[in-house]
A and B are shown apart, each in its own frame.
Chain A
Amino acid sequence: MAEASTRETYGKTLVELGRQNKDIVVLDADLSPSTMTSIFAREFPDRFFNCGLTEQNMVGVAAGLAASGKTVFVSTFVVFVVCRCFDQLRLCISQPELNVKIVATHGGITVGEDGSSHHAIEDLALTCALPSFTVVVPADAIETAEAVKAAASNYGPFYIRLSRPKTPIVYPEGYHFTLGKAVTVRQGKDATVIAIGIMVAKALEAADVLAREGIDCRVINMPTLKPLDEAAIVKAASETGAIVVAEEHLAQGGLGSRVAQVVTRRKPVPMEFVNLGDRYAVSGKAEELLQRYGLTAGDIAESVKSVVKRK
């Protein structure tokens, strides 16, 4: 599969948006060469603020700008904005429902060698817990561009999680993203894998392997975690009778928990979960870590087989 950087796409999309809308302002915390807000900074130096290593301050500043009519994009690594600034996100952005878009990079354990301080594995639980926030995890660069544009044109708090490494392209050029809607990226009738982010490409790989073994597996990408596309989940549960959820996140509070809440209430079927469990990862190469912590196409395929047996 071809690959592209979601971060680079983010930076370029910001420039595009900045040209269309003079009220777009971008904040970063000494990481613009990594988050790629540097591309926006070069083109619009007056609307870019490097807040230095003052993340909590930066979130408060974003709230003030937003309350004064700006559409504010805030970027740094996931851990430094979601984990460190949770109270600021809660009181300054979520509660007053301000127009701030947190677009953070280096989500998940594919951050790799930097180790557990930099692995962002609890961010989806935290941000999905914030009323008024829309939470999006794009599957590839094409969906990233779409999601960032949707964030700019829909009022309110957003959290978008991007990755460090380049990610496989799963969508054709011209793909149109609809906020709050799941996308069936592969049809199937024996079971459904619901995935986000880098796990979408892995789910497609798993479905190929399973097809050779006679299991016809559906794959759904659920880019919007919040609000969740409940109808798509109920439909998948009804039509395929088994669901596996795959995400680069801890077991609790992420996509798995959210999908399970819908399934148990509206259409109970057997479920399995592919995630990090309840543990921190260590330093290593991204691919090594995915292997070590059970986040490969093979792990998804195994989970599908066991969930099908329970039907």
Chain B
Amino acid sequence: MAKKLRRHVIAMTATAGSGHPGGSLSAADIITALYFKVLRHDPENPQWPERDRFILSKGHAAPILYAALAEAGYFPVAELATLRKLDSRLQGHTDKKFTPGVEMSAGSLGMGLSFAIGVALAARLDSKTYRTYVLLSDGECEEGQTWEAALSAAHFKLDNLTAIVDYNGMQLSGWVRDIMNLEPFTRKWQAFGWHSLDIDGHDFKQILSACQGAEKIKGKPTVIVARTIKGRGVSFMENNVVFHGKAPTWEEAERALKELE
């Protein structure tokens, strides 16, 4: 399934002529695990009150989320070809108003964790058992708001919240370590009062067991630091910052799809 979603990402961005393949591909295995194994959800009923919530904070990775939502049955797979086109339900960055299954609008980095805290607090207020998952990029862990949220989630003892960081090491203009070093990263979350796990974000088993493990932690939120590779699955996109925000040409898309057969 992850491979299928990756193929969609390539085809969608090539068709649109713009978009963000790199950070979509790095998150493909995490998104697949969530939508096809972890989340309790009902594509027939996107507003089901008991559903687990998934919030994509790194809104530019919309293509991988749309691919998962389509394959899960929220809308027709054929609609993926309308990405970024006028009147499409699939906006360039996630937009809560238009897309079934999208919990929150995003596109300005660093806002998703705060929103997730609100959703998790509401679960507690309403005595609901749903879990809230949020996917962050490493780049947006530079934003002050992310750390304000990190403080808050631990302060409110939100053990119904799991944050996953797509730690691909790259942002728009280069390597995170050269632009704004985050290390020691996991220790920062621990110091902020979170339960933390370091995993290989392309290993399905590790993703699943980390998510399951998080459910057992009481009294604090969990962060899963998922080590990933930007552009994962397409040789010439891997660790290549050019494909952060550039769609493949048709020729490149064909090569990429071959590699993803």
Q: Mark B73-95, 1 if CB is under 8 A from A, else 0.
A: 00000000000111110011101
CA–CA, A102 to B158, complex, Å?
39
CB <8 Å contact, B179 and A52:
yes
CB <8 Å contact, B172 and A31:
yes
CB <8 Å contact, A117 and B180:
no
Which one of B112-120, B138-146, B200-208 is at the A interface?
B138-146
Tell whether A57 is near chain B: CB-to-CB under 8 Å.
yes
Q: Mark A47-74, 1 if CB is under 8 A from B, else 0.
A: 0001111111100000000000000000
CB <8 Å contact, A52 and B139:
yes
Tell whether B18 is near chain A: CB-to-CB under 8 Å.
yes
With known contacts A33-B173, A57-B144, A283-B88, A117–B107 Cβ distance under 8 A: yes
Q: On chain A, which size bracket covers the interface?
A: 20 to 34
CA–CA, A176 to B172, complex, Å?
36
Task: Give chain B residues whose Cβ lies under 8 Å from the Cβ of A84.
Answer: 108
CB <8 Å contact, A285 and B86:
yes
B13-41: which have CB < 8 Å to A? 16-19
Closest residue to B17 on the A side, CB-wise? A113
Tell whether B110 is near chain A: CB-to-CB under 8 Å.
yes
CA–CA, A256 to B19, complex, Å?
34
Distance of A87 from chain B, by nearest CB (Å):
12
Contact of B86 among A55, A80, A83, A282 (CB under 8 A): A282
Tell whether A30 is near chain B: CB-to-CB under 8 Å.
yes
CA–CA, A84 to B106, complex, Å?
13
B196-242: which have CB < 8 Å to A? none
Tell whether B168 is near chain A: CB-to-CB under 8 Å.
no
Task: Give chain A residues whose Cβ lies under 8 Å from the Cβ of B108.
Answer: 79-80, 83-84, 117
CA–CA, A83 to B108, complex, Å?
10
CB <8 Å contact, A52 and B171:
yes
Task: Give chain A residues whose Cβ lies under 8 Å from the Cβ of B93.
Answer: 114-118
Tell whether A288 is near chain B: CB-to-CB under 8 Å.
yes
Task: Give chain B residues whose Cβ lies under 8 Å from the Cβ of A238.
Answer: none
With known contacts A30-B139, A31-B172, A117-B106, A52–B180 Cβ distance under 8 A: yes
Closest residue to B138 on the A side, CB-wise? A53
CB <8 Å contact, B179 and A115:
no
CB <8 Å contact, A53 and B142:
yes
CB <8 Å contact, A288 and B173:
no
Closest residue to A288 on the B side, CB-wise? B86
Contact of B92 among A53, A56, A283 (CB under 8 A): A283
Tell whether B121 is near chain A: CB-to-CB under 8 Å.
no
CA–CA, A115 to B107, complex, Å?
9
Contact of B91 among A34, A83, A115 (CB under 8 A): A115
Closest residue to B176 on the A side, CB-wise? A52
Closest residue to A54 on the B side, CB-wise? B142
CA–CA, A50 to B139, complex, Å?
13
Tell whether B193 is near chain A: CB-to-CB under 8 Å.
no
Task: Give chain B residues whose Cβ lies under 8 Å from the Cβ of A288.
Answer: 86
Tell whether B160 is near chain A: CB-to-CB under 8 Å.
no
Closest residue to B109 on the A side, CB-wise? A53
B93-107: which have CB < 8 Å to A? 93, 95, 98, 105-107
CB <8 Å contact, B139 and A114:
no
Instruction: Name the residue among A38, A53, A284, A292 with the largest chain B CB count within 10 angstroms.
Output: A53
Task: Give chain B residues whose Cβ lies under 8 Å from the Cβ of A34.
Answer: 172
CB <8 Å contact, B86 and A114:
no
Task: Give chain B residues whose Cβ lies under 8 Å from the Cβ of A112.
Answer: 18
CB <8 Å contact, A292 and B86:
yes
With known contacts A84-B108, A283-B86, A116–B172 Cβ distance under 8 A: no
CA–CA, A33 to B140, complex, Å?
18
Distance of A115 from chain B, by nearest CB (Å):
4
CA–CA, A116 to B18, complex, Å?
15
Contact of A284 among B85, B98, B107, B109 (CB under 8 A): B85
19 contacts between A and B (CB under 8 A): A33-B172, A34-B172, A52-B139, A53-B109, A53-B180, A80-B108, A84-B108, A113-B18, A113-B19, A115-B95, A116-B105, A117-B92, A282-B87, A283-B88, A283-B91, A283-B92, A284-B85, A284-B86, A289-B86
Query: Which B residues form the contact surface with A (CB < 8 A)?
Result: 16-19, 59, 84-88, 91-93, 95, 98, 105-110, 139-140, 142-144, 171-173, 176, 179-180
Given contacts A30-B173, A54-B180, A83-B108, 9 further A-B contacts (CB under 8 A): A34-B172, A50-B179, A53-B139, A53-B142, A53-B171, A118-B92, A282-B98, A289-B86, A292-B86
10 pairs of A and B residues whose beta carbons are closest in the complex: A117-B107, A52-B180, A284-B86, A115-B92, A53-B142, A113-B84, A115-B91, A114-B92, A283-B92, A52-B142
